[in-house]
Chains A and B, each alone.
Chain A
């Protein structure tokens, strides 16, 4: 019996060393050596070396001169009371979703509120049906993309804020649409951070 247990123990320790140390550390070494950009998080860095974010991680945009991303349901600990949380959109240290079901009154109220707010700010935008991604929250809370329809709906507001005609901004959006991979996988989408970076280059704020 003792032999069985001690043998199992020795073999288990080796397995832990193999699967828990050797394997992840080897993958880390190879990944960092061969593919450092991806291995370190696909970070977007400006000319001065400041990290502006990640290509893959969404961010919260508030001002009218930028394209906005989807709503995000991520939260953060309440600074006044550690047992509660407060809304903190695009918190990349705590991913999450709303988890509201389709018959949830809270969900319906939230979307209705968002629709009304948009209607007040830009009445022409709500003449037709709104793209679903504009009002719904993603599963991760960190979705870096919006649908092309969402982007086009924001062109007028962005162009007005930057003092340019909408046509140029529209053309920019069109250029930045990521199509389906190999024409089959996924859906067409626009990466908000990269769109805003290109926007700032081509149509800088005066």
Chain B
């Protein structure tokens, strides 16, 4: 670890904070129907869209209609994306002449992109046409992020309002996310990426002749526009197989900083927006404090683990001064790679600028832990906020049990009904990960897909389900995931992970919105101080991670100690 490395990480995080705060104020204004800088330009477009779809701009929905609208919309997106992939052979913008995507892969990819996971069991440049990447995948990157943001805002409103049957209008929240936040940001960031060297062309590829006389076919495409929303929307699906390690997605050290920044800025902004909307900024700050502690601990551990290199390779004469460089591109440095890895697993983006499968056991473990926690530090754009709020309610409940008072969060009493929804949401992810991992390691059809043997292979399977259950999408790439078994199971896991995770949360929102808001009293447990931050941190770590201890011991920890004793597999 070097001083410049730490400076790079500190500067990246400082830039995130600097921009996330005003962005958060903007988001709060947008969803509270207040005027913003963009309203003069975007307002007419917004109103036109409402007229077209027949939405009244003051029409509100209860939690059930809101959720039903979301499900219908998501189902429609799935059908559209599935159709585009199956028809890509006859659709335009196909300079590479790609055939239709096979049914199981198309199914998996469609589910993957509508749940914000962007798990890619395929290689972009050899499987998808430009039309599919642009109209199918890029569009869904906007839509699924907008859906997540709408859901988070719906839950936020439940704390703002009282005695209220409605939590907002899904179509309005969806439209506003796209028009006022995602599109403007994406246009700016996409152009910045082009400036830094990311290609943006409709050409398929170009033929080069090297100085030695060999031919090299260089794949091209409309990369920058996809890259921007891939990161800003915490989606993660890259244009190319190598994702953000590919020089055309991430050409330089500077573009890498922009990439890490882009993943973190919106999730953090959502937390600032939350504080603003509930009228108590300190509430947002305490959630952010917990996220920051987890993020910093992750970066410290991962950076260190990768920077000291692979002891097995050091033994055969490889200089450890550059750190573990297998599966890493030089231009980012170990600090840039570590910052990105933590940003991408902490936010739920699931992109990669270095291969997770080649990271040291401790490095890979940090990434895995963030996934097992459900990606809450800071989580995805929208998903992070609502996941953290669920944990906050759980923390308040546990705190209430400890001191013998009725738990309340932001003035809303937390009762048995709410706790049922919270527990459903919190237990689902772990159940999916453990059950599917256990079944897979017992089946030859799954074990045949392993790219590595021994405990590292075990980690490959656990990581796959941890990633898809949390709708992250990163992977230990050695696992051959484009098989019917993995396409089907990860598809099911992604779908359940998202939908079954979100429905209890929306029911929770409906329940909370209908309650009265209690005023602060002597007996109120403060949720905006250091004590609560520690409580929430403890709850987040213990409730989410303890149940995975056996799995972690068998995978990354076993590998770490065996590596130390010189064992290979």
Most buried by A among B49, B175, B316, B456: B316
Residue-by-residue, is A114-151 near B (CB-CB < 8 Å gives 1, otherwise 0)?
Answer: 01000000000010111111011111111111110100
Residue-by-residue, is B420-459 near A (CB-CB < 8 Å gives 1, otherwise 0)?
Answer: 0000000000000000000000000000000111111001
A101-B452, A111-B318 known; A21 vs B225 contact (CB < 8 Å)? no
Tell me the smallest distance from the CB of B524 to a CB of chain A, in Å.
Answer: 41
Q: What A residues does B559 contact at CB under 8 A?
A: 101-103
Cβ of A19 within 8 Å of any chain B Cβ, yes or no, is yes
Cβ of A175 within 8 Å of any chain B Cβ, yes or no, is no
* Chain A residue with the shortest CB-CB distance to B452: A101
Q: Are B225 and A27 in contact (CB under 8 A)?
A: yes
Q: What A residues does B205 contact at CB under 8 A?
A: 93
Cβ of A100 within 8 Å of any chain B Cβ, yes or no, is yes
Q: Are A23 and B53 in contact (CB under 8 A)?
A: no
A139-B328, A189-B330 known; A93 vs B125 contact (CB < 8 Å)? yes
Q: In the docked arrangement, what's the CA distance between A39 and B434, Å?
A: 45
Cβ of A82 within 8 Å of any chain B Cβ, yes or no, is no
Q: Could you say which of A27, A99, A100, A137 contacts B222, with CB atoms under 8 Å apart?
A: A27
Q: Are B325 and A132 in contact (CB under 8 A)?
A: yes
Cβ of B488 within 8 Å of any chain A Cβ, yes or no, is no
Q: Are A97 and B4 in contact (CB under 8 A)?
A: no
Cβ of A84 within 8 Å of any chain B Cβ, yes or no, is no
Tell me the smallest distance from the CB of A184 to a CB of chain B, in Å.
Answer: 5
Residue-by-residue, is B352-390 near A (CB-CB < 8 Å gives 1, otherwise 0)?
Answer: 111101111100000000000000000000000000000
Cβ of A54 within 8 Å of any chain B Cβ, yes or no, is yes
Cβ of A112 within 8 Å of any chain B Cβ, yes or no, is yes
A18-B183, A27-B222, A40-B220 known; A61 vs B212 contact (CB < 8 Å)? yes
Q: What B residues does A32 contact at CB under 8 A?
A: 200-201
B: residues with CB less than 8 A from A are 4, 7-8, 11, 49, 52-55, 69, 72-73, 76-77, 80, 123, 125-126, 134-136, 138-139, 142-143, 171, 175, 178, 183, 186-187, 190-191, 194-203, 205-212, 214, 216-220, 222, 224-226, 229, 240-242, 245-248, 251-254, 256-257, 309-310, 312-314, 316-334, 336, 352-355, 357-361, 451-456, 459, 476-478, 559, 562-563, 567-569
A: residues with CB less than 8 A from B are 3-12, 14-16, 18-21, 23-24, 26-28, 30-32, 34-35, 38-43, 50-63, 66, 70, 90-105, 107-108, 111-112, 115, 126, 128-133, 135-147, 149, 180-181, 183-187, 189, 196-197, 200
